Structure 1
Amino acid sequence: MRYRRAIMTGGTYFFTVNLADRASALLVERVDLLREAVRTVKQRHPFGILAWVVLPEHMHTIWSMPDHDADFSRRWMLIKQRFSWAIEQRETISTSRRNKSERGIWQRRFWEHLIRDEHDLACHLDYVHINPVKHGYVTRASDWPYSSIHRYIRQGMLAADWACEPDVAVRRGERF
C-alpha cells in the first residue's frame, strides 16, 4: 500500500517529525546541528517557516511552500540526512536500514497536514507553541528555548505569558 500525501504547490503545511528512539534527547542536545541542516536545505530549496518547536525526541513545524513547489518530502529527506551525517554513530541500526544505507536516528515517515484556512492555521500555530507545556517540559510556553514563540513575542504578536493561567500557581497552593 502506498501512503498518499496531500500535495499543493504554494500550500501551508503542519508537520510532526520524530526520532526513532522516542527516549532520546538528541534534537535538543544537538539543536545546533539541526538548525544548520535546516538553514542549508532552506537556502537551496526555499520554504517559509511560520512556526517551529523542537522537543527532545520530536518536533512540530509549519511551513509555507513556494508557489511553484510542493516537494516538502525532499526537504525533509535532506534535513534528516544532513543532521544524521553530522551526528556520530551510536544508534543501533537494523538490518533493513543497513541494507538501505540508512541510519537509525529518524522514524522513516513524518506526519503532515495541509492547512485549510486561517482558523486551521491559528489552531496549529497554538499547538506548536503550547507543545512544550503539553509535554510537561515547562509551565510557560515562553520558557522553552527551542520555539518560534520567541519570534512571535518579539514581534508583539503574542505576550510572554501567552496561554498562561494567572491563578494556576495559587490553585496548586504555591506562594509567590
Structure 2
Amino acid sequence: MVRYRRSVVPGGTFFFTATLYDRRSSALVEHVEKLRGAFRATRLESPFTIDAIVILPEHLHVIMTLPEDDSDFSGRWKRIKSLFTHRVVASGTPVPHNHRGEFALWQRRFWEHTIRDETDFERCADYIHFNPVKHGLVASPIDWPYSSLHRYVRAGILPADWGGAGEINGKFGERGE
C-alpha cells in the first residue's frame, strides 16, 4: 500500500482546503469570529502568514506561508480545528461525536498543495477569491464578505470589479472536481 506523504518545505507557501464533516453545515460563516479567533491564537503560538483566504459555509481555502525554518503546517491545522471546535461547543452549539467519541465537526484531513512559483500562487489566489461565485453564493467575488479579496482591493492588487465575469478552472481538493 502506498502511504501518502505530505510536503516538507521549511518556509514554504501552501494552498489548503479544510472541510467540515457535514457538507450541509454553515458553521464556518455562522461562527466566523470564532474561526478568526482560532487562526489568530494559532498564529501567536506558531507564526504563519495568510496570503489569501476565503471562508465558505462548510469549507475554506487558504494560502499560508510558514517561517523559514518551519514546515509544520499539520500542527497548525490541528490547532486551528481544535480551537474552533472547542469554541463552537463552548457557545452551546451542538456538535456530533464520531464512533471514537471525538467531536465530528471537521473532516479528519485537509488537502494541501505546495505553491511552486508566482504563476501557481496567482492561480490559487484567483481560485480562492472566485470560489464564492463558483459555489453560487454571490454573483461577484467582491460581494462575499469572508474573503481576502477585500484586502487585495484595498492594497490596489486587484480592482473591485475583479472576477465579475468569467470562470476559473482547476482541481483544488473539492469534491466533484
Structure 1 vs Structure 2 CA RMSD: 1.2
CA deviation after TM superposition for structure 1 residue 92, in Å = 2.5
CA deviations 1:41-90 (Å, max 9, x no partner) are 00110001100000000000000111000100000000000001111252
CA deviation after TM superposition for structure 1 residue 17, in Å = 0.1
Partner Cα separation in structure 2 for residue 94 and residue 122 of structure 1: 38
Give unpaired runs (5+ residues) of structure 2: 167-177
Partner Cα separation in structure 2 for residue 85 and residue 8 of structure 1: 30
Q: Which amino acid aligns with 2:125?
A: L
TM-score, reference length from structure 2: 0.89
CA deviation after TM superposition for structure 1 residue 3, in Å = 2.5
Match for residue 20 of structure 1? 21
Misfit runs of 4+, over 6 Å: none
Partner Cα separation in structure 2 for residue 163 and residue 87 of structure 1: 33
Partner Cα separation in structure 2 for residue 40 and residue 94 of structure 1: 26
* Secondary structure at 1:87 match in 2: helix
Give runs of aligned pairs for residues 142-153 of structure 1, distance below 5 A. 142-153=142-153
Give runs of aligned pairs for residues 70-85 of structure 1, distance below 5 A. 70-85=71-86
Match for residue 171 of structure 2? none
Q: Which amino acid aligns with 1:37?
A: A
Q: How many residues align?
A: 162
Give unpaired runs (5+ residues) of structure 1: 167-176
Match for residue 38 of structure 1? 39
Q: Which amino acid aligns with 1:95?
A: H
The answer to whether the aligner puts 1:118 opposite 2:132 as a matched pair is no
Query: Among the aligned pairs, what percent are the same residue?
Result: 51
Q: Which amino acid aligns with 1:135?
A: H
Q: Which amino acid aligns with 1:86?
A: R
* Secondary structure at 1:17 match in 2: strand
Partner Cα separation in structure 2 for residue 147 and residue 79 of structure 1: 18
Partner Cα separation in structure 2 for residue 37 and residue 164 of structure 1: 31
TM-score, reference length from structure 1: 0.89
Structure exhibiting the larger radius of gyration computed from Cα positions: 1
Match for residue 99 of structure 2? 95
CA deviations 1:85-141 (Å, max 9, x no partner) are 111252321223x1xxx2110000000000001110010010000000000000110
